[in-house]
Amino acid sequence: MKEMNFAAVLAESLGEGRVLPSPPEWTKPPADLAEKCRRALYEVSDPEFLISLVDLGLIYGISADERSGEVAVRLTFTATACPCTDFIKWDIRERLLQLPEVSDVKVEEVWDPPWTTSRISDRGREILQDAGIAIIG
């Protein structure tokens, strides 16, 4: 273990092995870069559930500078002791940086208002219910 750079190994493994339900079918092009980013995050899953971060209700806001390509994501977690905080932040950065318009991604951790199951989208609820997970609240 001492010879292994664990962080580097984890970073190299980003995005591997995730199979997510298809994102929603969009009928219109995104209005702006922030919306484009939001749509891209439908392809980033929570590491524990097969559901996107957007459907889980963890994305509290996205702002994007159209000229510089700098993007800021306001993100919460289901619990303060979420064991996957770093993975989620890495996955967000990795996916958004795949967009040619995006030059940099900053992820801000926020806790207000506190996340509850009421923030899960209807689509997210259906996906979880199909997987046998009951949502209370």
Partner 1 sequence: MTEGTKGYAKPADLPDDVRDHLGSLLIVLADNKRLLGMRYSDWLLGAPALEAGIACSAMAQDEWGHGRILYAMLRDFGYEANQLEHEREASEYRNMELLDGPAGEWPDLLALNLLLDTALSVQFEAMAESRFEPVHYKVSKLLDEERFHFEHGRGWVTRLGSTDAGREALRRSFRPVWEACLRWFGPDGDEAGRALHQAGITDKDAAGLRARWLERVGPVVEAGQLELAEMDGGGSGVWLSRVEPSWDGWDPDVRRGARGGPDADMLARVRGDKNRPLLMD
The binding site for partner 1 (CB under 8 A) comprises: 1-2, 4, 6-7, 10, 79-83, 86, 109-115
| 131 to 50, 114, 119: CA distances (angstroms) | 9, 25, 18
Q: Hey, what are 133's tokens?
A: 């997970």
Choose between 8 and 19: whose C-beta lies nearer to partner 1: 8
Round to whole Å and give the CA distance between 22 and 20. Answer: 6
The least CB distance from residue 127 to partner 1, in Å, is: 25
Choose between 79 and 133: whose C-beta lies nearer to partner 1: 79
Choose between 97 and 99: whose C-beta lies nearer to partner 1: 97
Choose between 63 and 129: whose C-beta lies nearer to partner 1: 63
The least CB distance from residue 8 to partner 1, in Å, is: 10
| 52 to 5, 46, 105, 130: CA distances (angstroms) | 29, 6, 18, 15
The least CB distance from residue 86 to partner 1, in Å, is: 6
Round to whole Å and give the CA distance between 86 and 102. Answer: 20
Cβ(70)–Cβ(104) below 8 Å: yes
The least CB distance from residue 52 to partner 1, in Å, is: 22
